[in-house]
Amino acid sequence: MTAFTSAGAPDLQSAGPGGTGGDSPDRPRAISATSSDYWLTFGGSLIGSLALVWLLYERILPFSGTIGFYACWYVAYLVVFATATAVVHNRLIVVDRLATAIVTGAAGLVGLALASTVGYTIFRGWAAVHHLNFFTQPESAASPLTAPLTQGGILNAIVGSSIELGIATLVSLPLGIGTAIYMVEVGGRFSRVVRTVVEAMTALPDILAGLFIYTFLILALGFQRSGFAAAMALSVMMLPVIARTADVQLRVVPSGLREASLALGATQWRTVWRVVIPTQLSGLATAVILGMARAVGETAPVLIASGFSTYTAVNPFVNPMNSLPLAIFTAVRSGVPLFITRGFGTGVVLLAYVLILFSAARLLARSKVARR
């Protein structure tokens, strides 16, 4: 195999500007373009286009701005790279390499955006997060908005988020998993109706979950705007997510396992309890955790159903209860620089919260793979 490709590579290079060599039937085409020819063209084009763009962009043409510079560099790189490749290779290879450059560039841009989102939040929030009081004091401890970062924290938001998430999980876990078991194990015509409705409800915009709870629970039934109302709004969001993910997880349990259990004389209930659920336990846990990760970051429902408060509230039924997304929202809206720094700090905590849930889901999913 190595001899094969190394014999092919020089031939491709020596094919000359006409580049008909690649079309001759007896020469294998190099699929992975990792020859020295590729790397030299790549590096040369990168440096050449940088020099060209610097000269044009910074010195000759009336342009300015960092983003514009990098965008122009990328475009110039594509042109130079394509031209340089076309000198040696035929059209097919030029197109292939150009496509590789564009695909890699786009993926790099998305990766850069993700990295900058996480990095920028940590960068701006570090000033608030590295004080211990940020985690041990409620927001009310920083009474004027301009209080230094060594006073006050977000303990109330952390506690509030955890309580709301706990209640929401308590409500939606049995309902979500139960629905999934019903849809997969019992089935029937009615289950198709349930599945259709559950799938439709995953499209519910988050703000409507909040508005529904606000109108129904708070205005019509007379509940207070409180942590409980927020938790109900969150469980309206979580329920379809958990039911649908668990549905997918249960459906991939091999039907041979079910049949084996039934053939041994087990009842359907025992089959579900002893065979189906243990087989896919980590998958079901993943479904629940993904629902939780989704719910903890939802801002719009808690904004409507609970409202903002700076004091630590432990009773979910009275008084507004603050939560992490709501604390960020209020901080950003305030426009006070120090308060915005606190907002970024809260963002770091929220990211950590999501990341912990997310890693737990990943580990569970991985332990399943390792066991097989």
Partner 1 sequence: MTTVIDLRPAGSAPEPDEAPRSIRKSLSTSDRVFRWGTTAIGAMVLVIIGAVGSFLGYQLVPTLRDYGLRFFTENQWNPELNILGISAVLIGTVEVALIAIVISFPLALLTALYISEYTPPWARAFLVSMIDLMAAIPSIVYAMWGLFLIEPHALYLGRWINEYFGWFPLFHVQGGDARGALFNLEAFDSSPFIAGMVVSMMVIPLACAVMLGVFRQAPISEREGAYALGSTRWGMIRAVVLPFGRGGIVGGTMLALGRALGETIVVLLILSLNTDIKFRPLEIGGITTASLIANYFGEATSGQLDALLAAGFVLFAMTIVVNTIAAVIVARSRSGAQTEI
Nearer to partner 1, 163 or 209 (CB): 209
Contact residue for partner 1 among 354, 360, 363, 364 (CB under 8 A): 354
* Position 204 contacts partner 1 (CB under 8 A): yes
Give the whole-angstrom CA distance, residue 280 versus residue 258.
12
Ramachandran sector of residue 46 (left: φ over 0; alpha: ψ -120 to 50; beta: rest) = alpha
CB count, 10 Å around CB of 216? 13
* Position 249 contacts partner 1 (CB under 8 A): no
The residue type found at 338 is L
Element (H, E) at 330: helix 324-334
Q: Which two tokens stand for residue 23?
A: 């079309």
Contact residue for partner 1 among 12, 168, 217, 272 (CB under 8 A): 272
- Looking at 12-20, 52-60, 277-285, 322-330, which segment touches partner 1 (CB under 8 A)? 322-330
Contact residue for partner 1 among 253, 276, 284, 321 (CB under 8 A): 253
Vertex 203, ends 202 and 209: CA angle to 5°?
A: 80
Contact residue for partner 1 among 138, 283, 291, 343 (CB under 8 A): 343
- Looking at 2-10, 11-19, 310-318, 350-358, which segment touches partner 1 (CB under 8 A)? 350-358
The residue type found at 351 is L
Considering only residues 205-244, where is the footprint of partner 1 by CB under 8 A? 205-209, 211-212, 214-216, 219, 236, 239-240, 243
Give the whole-angstrom CA distance, residue 284 versus residue 362.
12
* Position 202 contacts partner 1 (CB under 8 A): yes
Give the whole-angstrom CA distance, residue 242 versus residue 169.
10
241: closest CA among 207, 269, 273, 203? 203
Considering only residues 8-37, where is the footprint of partner 1 by CB under 8 A? 29, 31-32
The residue written with tokens 């927020």 in the block is 230
Q: Minimum CB separation from partner 1 for residue 139, in Å?
A: 16
- CB neighbours of 76 closer than 8 A, spacing ≥ 6? 49, 52, 53
Q: Minimum CB separation from partner 1 for residue 302, in Å?
A: 10
Considering only residues 182-201, where is the footprint of partner 1 by CB under 8 A? 182-183, 185-186, 190-191, 193-194, 197-201
Considering only residues 84-113, where is the footprint of partner 1 by CB under 8 A? 92-93, 95-96, 99-100, 102-107, 109-111, 113
* Position 293 contacts partner 1 (CB under 8 A): yes
DSSP code of residue 272: I
Distances in Å between the Cα of 145 and the Cα atoms of 7, 287, 313, 353 are: 72, 40, 20, 25
Q: Minimum CB separation from partner 1 for residue 314, in Å?
A: 24
Q: Which two tokens stand for residue 86?
A: 């076309």
Contact residue for partner 1 among 15, 230, 300, 338 (CB under 8 A): 300
Give the count of residues interacting with partner 1 (CB under 8 A). 104
* Position 44 contacts partner 1 (CB under 8 A): no
- Looking at 50-58, 76-84, 140-148, 291-299, which segment touches partner 1 (CB under 8 A)? 291-299
Give the whole-angstrom CA distance, residue 45 versus residue 39.
10
Q: Which two tokens stand for residue 75?
A: 């475009």
Nearer to partner 1, 51 or 71 (CB): 71
* Position 118 contacts partner 1 (CB under 8 A): yes
* Position 294 contacts partner 1 (CB under 8 A): yes
